[in-house]
Chain A
């Protein structure tokens, strides 16, 4: 389990980084926290000719709260985002979700942007970014562009980012209106990738009736799936809505696969149960928001 040979680059600025990426494209790969990439290299499942280490790009080590959105730079570790009180104040969902991502040691090293760039359909942050309708900002020598999450993820472990592009940041918008958001999941062991995980955002109107409900899932298909559950619960009082119906609606729309840890039938069942639980909790949170 030793990687194949590669050339190693360690640029000091974002400008240098995109220059190197352009130079070596398409044979380069960004190295951030390495928590996903290094195992792939060691098992020789990936063998890029060039590694561009971005750990010197301190200009990207930030978590920024701008009114109704939280922007996370490419060098912010999961732990930085998790422990950022300003981000928690406006968007508690981030911390609540990150607590389910791996273990503290891995969160100390792994980056939030890296996990999104990696586009693992089991990665919680991919689902959260999609659920909130967030964006990713990409830079290359050719310029900068901002892409909606829905367009960013193009398949399992694939995104629209080109080989010469660096994802410099991602932005999580704070949901508008009176909302509550909850992440819940079932994992085999503490900190494992979920067997099924879901994040739900419920919006209430001024009378505390359900105005909208949306959910996103991990490990329930090849890409982060986002569902609109409003039909099942619209107009109901927040504490009296038929969340089980919302769960059934969700389960009916998802097509998970079997794997060695769980059957598809069990995953669908979990989606139903967890959606109902999370949605009910989210509605209660919205009510006191």
Chain B
């Protein structure tokens, strides 16, 4: 069978794989759900910015400042093109966490066009990462709004049977993940989006785990806001994206105030520029934005459909293999339906930390613990999980080493 991706060629673009791990083992990086590795083109785009174009954007009247502005604005239009939206709708933040906090702050500010108040409802799900949970908890506490949520089911999907009682006329905001960072499940958001709009509420999509791994088109989904992190999408750390519909963004109050985000300022008052500038106070993360644009270009050149398909092939082999290892329990979706390339599992009687430690001896990098989704972990009735997450640079032999290391972890503690 011909492989969907030329993984050997892809891997060669990622310098991190050139070194060896403990005991001379090669790196089997299965933690892209936490952060992705970077291709040379991203590292070079970021450092080239410093070598050739570094100056504060939109300020100086000199050549370098023009170059910097061009590079930064260019990065914004590249991100917009990647998502199929307008440039003015793309806000560069420092992370998805910041993107989501900007929204939660705006909706708590009575001077925003849309603001939640006492008794209004905010709807989440039990799948949420802390970054798409705590900002909303805090918003509810500040405003007297009420938090509601969809429950997760054994297979990692959301229970939508009570959708009409969860999303009611009191609902103002629904914020849900596009893919669970713990279980890999892709919740069925289409009916939730319809229900949200039917009551005039706004839908926020946490696309951290989807945008880097599959085609995501906010306009086609019919959502209002979307957040993702650059560092999970081959980009540098320190840059994230908030997308929102222009008319909504222009009615929102910013979270940070300072230079570059103003329209006019006096000693006692100030007015704001339109989005995106309104939400980008201070000298922005220019080199990181440029690096992110290079990362997204890399993903486009490989093809997001293909990346998703490849990750599912890796996932299938991993699921089949894990199922054969006695004492291993896979949590969440057991099939390839409605899922991405993230697998959480536990080994009976063993703590994930100990499992991960043995796997490390094989050069395998996995995440262990609660994955910043503590309520979900509690609901699953475990103290934590071991999570393997795949990306375009993983190949079938990575899956084989994963399986070998899981077996070894089980045996290491059984024998003794």
Are chains A and B native binding partners rather than an unrelated pairing?
no
Interfacial residues, chain B to chain A (CB-CB below 8 A): none
